[in-house]
């Protein structure tokens, strides 16, 4: 375990002005707070925060970050509080430690929801101060180095979480060295046999080709020196997980991989980078499609370098990365390189935000994802944002848009602006009209066609790649559905107030919101529209003195049809075409109406039928013809019955659902004749089912789309006139 003076010495090596007293006090406080606590390995628990601090000293971070690392588990695992940390070490360090503390006493059903909520808290803390991320990654790295001491049932979960979230997050922040180690430690835990096999093959390959690597290094160095370019050349072998991922992604065997060895050339200036490329491409043939210039177009994680692959000495494919020393530092340490001590002082938050594209991306992503999504959605969208490599596309005005590989023009539109994505209806790629689901390639110029008032189809959510697009589509879909339910709810509530002899107003309802436990008027109206709140409750919230008298529904009177008893019990006013309109009745249109309305599943309803609406929680209104026997199920629930009327547009006729049963001779051509009658009448067939087949007759159940009752009766009469038809009946439930 690292001693107190060793911690101070490690910090003072890169920061001679380090606050020795602060470091000493943090060491002593954490040691006392953790006391006799032990890790799974049996070591004192205090050894863990010290190792985390040691990892961060290698990144040359400021005193506050090192102290936060030493204290990072005190609030979570000991009796310490944020207030106590703030009093002893200052509010800055207390905020860092609190950002690293998991939420306690979470009343959540699933482990996934708990994980997601803690991850949301962590990322929001990172958005405030990136040093929270650096401590968390160092914490996870040390935990992965000692994962073999953890019980097997927890081991795989931690490794998978590391591979899913923390390794990609380190990569997105440009910390490639840390990402590689996290990936390989996770790979070793999750797939030990694959890890062992690939490691053994790499060791054997290195043993056989060790001399070749040295020869290529020497030849490259000599060639560049001859041309007057000073460069450091280092050969390296790919890590096991990187090899495994490439084999899996490209479906290749180990023997088919041609770029297991790579060479890094570190030069003095950006101009030298391009001079090196000129020398290399002149001396050796290039491999087509393997040249990438991340200096002129850096990655979002600030990575800058030129990649190329040539057929080098011994006809061996050689992958080269060319960069300056500053680029190399950022490639290894990423965002931490921006926080390194420069001239004896650490970069402040404002400087870090300005300099680091990776941190700007992270803050922007978190802000977008944090708006209104559940913790699980937040975690899902964050994973989507972290995982993919990138393609670079352009707007017609030349703005560069970085997207994940596999992204579509829909993703592109949302990356430009949420409003553009929501209103997108088409696109042009490189001047040619293309489908919105086309896969974008590097260098594509994308122009989005839009239409105001457009709502993105819900199906887009499963087709896009980026988390931002998914979140925006889901939110727009929810808003559209919510508006439908709120519109329906308003009509129901207005009708309820009229029935009670009261006047409805938004102002009065706003005052009553606390009684209804809702935040806004739209919340109340949408809840009523969904059937989660009854209109009578809204009336009573606004007028507490109001008492609604509800009588139990009587059974059918003698000599009266069953439907008549239901009609009396529900006190429903029925509307037929041409009848006077009553303001309290809700107008019902066809299958494409704006309200969340569906028709009775067993037979539907058509204009000309006397109808009743049943409010179903979460589904809106279900329309039944009054003769439907299914209505008996709602006999004792009069609060769910609604006055509804047909709202027909004579200029734009709409279809309505109806079901008939045709009893016909079992002979060739019978179904064709029936279908021809229906088609000639201008109706549609939605579904056909055969029942009660016999050698002579069979029942054909037809779900139709017709304009009204007159249209339906005409079709039924035409069918009855056919010689092969014995009987035609309409189904009403």
Give the pLDDT of residue 181. 92
Give the pLDDT of residue 386. 52
Q: What does the pLDDT average to over 319-345?
A: 70
CB neighbourhood size of 664 (10 A): 21
Give the pLDDT of residue 102. 64
Q: What is the pLDDT of residues 31-65, one digit of tens each?
A: 999 989 998 888 899 999 999 999 999 888 889 99
What is the Cα–Cα distance from 646 to 576, expressed in whole angstroms?
7
Tokens 């061996």 belong to which residue?
316
Tell me the domain boundaries of the chain: 4-175, 193-333, 388-465, 476-542, 562-646, 656-731
The answer on pLDDT for 25 being more than 90 is yes
Please indicate whether residue 76 is annotated as part of the active site: yes
Give residue 9's pLDDT band: very low, low, confident or very high (50, 70, 90). Answer: very high
What is the Cα–Cα distance from 585 to 579, expressed in whole angstroms?
12
The CATH class that applies to domain 4-175 reads mainly alpha
Please spell the DSSP secondary structure of 617-664, one letter per residue.
TTTEEEEEETT-GGGGGGTT-GGGEE-EEE---SSS---EEEEEEEEE
Q: What is the pLDDT of residues 137-159, one digit of tens each?
A: 999 999 999 999 988 888 998 99
Check 76, 161, 355, 630 and give the catalytic one.
Answer: 76
Q: What does the pLDDT average to over 361-385?
A: 55
Give residue 553's pLDDT band: very low, low, confident or very high (50, 70, 90). Answer: very low
Please indicate whether residue 77 is annotated as part of the active site: yes
Half-sphere exposure of 311 (CA within 13 A, CB side): 5
Check 9, 20, 77, 439 and give the catalytic one.
Answer: 77
Tell me whether the CATH fold assigned to 388-465 matches the one assigned to 656-731. Answer: no
Give the pLDDT of residue 354. 46
Query: CATH homologous superfamily for 656-731?
Result: ACT domain (3.30.70.260)
Q: What does the pLDDT average to over 339-352?
A: 46
Please spell the DSSP secondary structure of 229-287, one letter per residue.
--EEEEEEEPPHHHHHHHHHHHT--GGG---SEEEEEEESSHHHHHHHHHHHHHHSPBP
**Sheet bearing 641-642, strands edge to edge:** 597-599, 620-625, 611-616, 641-642
CA-CA-CA-CA dihedral for 265, 271, 277, 280, to nearest 10: -70
Q: What is the pLDDT of residues 317-330, one digit of tens each?
A: 788 999 998 888 88
CATH assignment of 388-465, given 3.40.50.920, 3.10.20.30, 3.40.1010.10, 3.30.460.80?
3.10.20.30
Q: Residue 343 gets which letter from DSSP? A: T
| pLDDT, greater one: 700 or 557 | 700
Give the pLDDT of residue 666. 82
Q: What is the percent of the chain with per-residue pLDDT over 90, rounded to a whole number?
A: 21
The answer on pLDDT for 562 being more than 70 is no
Give the pairing type, strands 317-324 and 261-267. parallel
What is the phi/psi pair of residue 226, to 5°?
-60, -35
Query: CATH homologous superfamily for 193-333?
Result: Beta Polymerase, domain 2 (3.30.460.10)
**Sheet bearing 446-450, strands edge to edge:** 432-434, 424-429, 446-450
Beta pairing partners, 390: 404
What is the Cα–Cα distance from 231 to 225, expressed in whole angstroms?
8
The answer on pLDDT for 366 being more than 50 is yes
The answer on pLDDT for 116 being more than 50 is yes
Half-sphere exposure of 52 (CA within 13 A, CB side): 29
The answer on pLDDT for 215 being more than 90 is no
The answer on pLDDT for 728 being more than 70 is yes
- Average pLDDT over the chain, rounded to an integer: 79
Q: What is the percent of the chain with per-residue pLDDT over 70, rounded to a whole number?
A: 80
What is the Cα–Cα distance from 719 to 729, expressed in whole angstroms?
10
The answer on pLDDT for 472 being more than 80 is yes
Q: Residue 163 gets which letter from DSSP? A: I
| pLDDT, greater one: 635 or 520 | 520
CB 74 within 8 A of CB 89: no
Lowest mean pLDDT across 116-125, 214-223, 412-421, 516-525? 116-125
Q: What does the pLDDT average to over 281-295?
A: 86
Q: How many residues does the chain have?
A: 733
Give the pLDDT of residue 567. 34
Give the pLDDT of residue 568. 31
Give the pLDDT of residue 114. 60
């Amino acid at each position: 375990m690292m001693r107190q003076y060793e911690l101070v010495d490690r910090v003072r090596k890169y920061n001679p002005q380090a606050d020795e007293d602060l470091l000493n006090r943090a060491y002593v406080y954490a040691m006392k707070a953790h006391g006799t606590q032990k890790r799974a390995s049996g070591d004192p628990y205090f050894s863990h925060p010290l190792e985390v601090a040691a990892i961060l000293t290698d990144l040359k971070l400021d005193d506050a970050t090192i102290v936060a690392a030493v204290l990072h588990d005190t609030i979570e695992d000991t009796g310490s509080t944020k207030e106590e940390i703030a009093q002893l070490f200052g509010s800055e360090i207390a905020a860092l430690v609190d950002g690293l503390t998991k939420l306690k006493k979470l009343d959540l059903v699933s482990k996934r929801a708990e994980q997601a909520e803690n991850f949301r808290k962590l990322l929001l803390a990172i958005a405030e101060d990136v040093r929270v991320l650096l401590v968390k990654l160092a914490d996870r790295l040390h935990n992965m180095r000692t994962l073999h001491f953890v019980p097997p049932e927890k081991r795989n979960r931690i490794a998978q979480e590391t591979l899913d979230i923390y390794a990609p997050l380190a990569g997105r922040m440009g910390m490639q060295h840390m990402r590689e180690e996290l990936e390989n430690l996770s790979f070793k835990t999750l797939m030990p046999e694959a890890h062992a096999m690939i490691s053994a093959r790499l060791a054997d390959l290195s043993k056989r080709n060790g001399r070749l690597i040295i020869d290529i290094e020497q030849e490259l160095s000599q060639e560049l020196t001859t041309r007057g370019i000073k460069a450091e050349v280092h050969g390296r072998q790919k890590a096991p997980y990187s090899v495994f991922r490439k084999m899996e992604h490209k479906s290749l065997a180990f023997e088919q991989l041609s770029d297991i060895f790579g060479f890094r050339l570190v030069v003095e200036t950006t101009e030298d980078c391009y001079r090196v490329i000129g020398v290399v491409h002149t001396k050796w043939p290039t491999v087509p499609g393997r040249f990438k210039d991340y200096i002129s177009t850096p990655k979002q994680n600030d990575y800058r370098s030129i990649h190329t692959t040539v057929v080098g000495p011994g006809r061996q494919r050689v992958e080269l990365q060319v960069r300056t020393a500053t680029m190399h530092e950022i490639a290894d340490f990423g965002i931490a390189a921006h926080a390194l001590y420069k001239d004896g002082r650490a970069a402040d938050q404002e400087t870090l935000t300005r300099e680091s594209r990776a941190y700007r991306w992270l803050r922007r992503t978190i802000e977008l994802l944090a708006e209104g999504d559940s913790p699980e959605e937040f975690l899902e969208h964050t994973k989507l944002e972290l995982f993919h490599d990138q393609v670079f596309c352009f707007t017609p005005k030349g703005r560069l848009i970085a997207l994940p590989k596999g992204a579509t023009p829909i993703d592109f539109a949302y990356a430009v602006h949420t409003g553009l994505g929501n209103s997108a209806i088409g696109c042009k790629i490189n001047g040619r009209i293309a489908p919105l689901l086309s896969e974008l390639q590097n260098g594509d110029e994308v122009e989005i066609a839009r239409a105001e008032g457009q709502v993105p189809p819900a199906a887009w959510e499963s087709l896009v790649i980026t988390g931002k697009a998914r979140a925006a589509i889901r939110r727009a879909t929810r808003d559209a559905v919510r508006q439908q339910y709120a519109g329906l709810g308003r009509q129901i509530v207005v009708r309820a107030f009229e029935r009670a002899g009261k006047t409805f107003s938004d102002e009065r309802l706003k005052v009553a919101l606390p009684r209804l436990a809702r935040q806004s008027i739209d919340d109340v109206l949408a809840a009523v529209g969904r059937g989660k709140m009854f209109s009578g409750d809204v009336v009573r919230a606004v007028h507490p003195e109001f008492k609604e008298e509800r009588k139990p529904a009587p059974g059918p009177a003698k000599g009266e049809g069953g439907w008549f008893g239901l009609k009396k019990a529900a006190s429903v006013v029925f509307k037929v075409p041409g009848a006077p309109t009553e303001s309290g009745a809700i107008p019902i249109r066809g299958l494409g109406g704006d309200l969340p309305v569906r028709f009775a599943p067993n037979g539907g309803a058509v204009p000309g039928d006397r109808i009743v609406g049943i409010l179903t929680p979460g589904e809106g209104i279900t329309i039944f013809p009054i003769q439907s026997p299914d209505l008996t199920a709602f006999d004792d629930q009069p609060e769910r019955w609604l006055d509804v009327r047909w709202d027909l547009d004579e200029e734009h006729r709409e279809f309505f659902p109806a079901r008939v049963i045709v009893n016909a001779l079992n002979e060739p051509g019978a179904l064709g004749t029936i279908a021809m009658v229906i088609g000639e009448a201008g109706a549609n067939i939605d579904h056909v089912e055969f029942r009660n087949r016999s050698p002579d007759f069979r029942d054909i159940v037809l779900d139709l789309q017709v304009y009204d009752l007159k249209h339906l009766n005409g079709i039924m009469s035409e069918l009855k006139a056919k010689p092969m038809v014995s009987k035609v009946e309409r189904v009403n439930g």
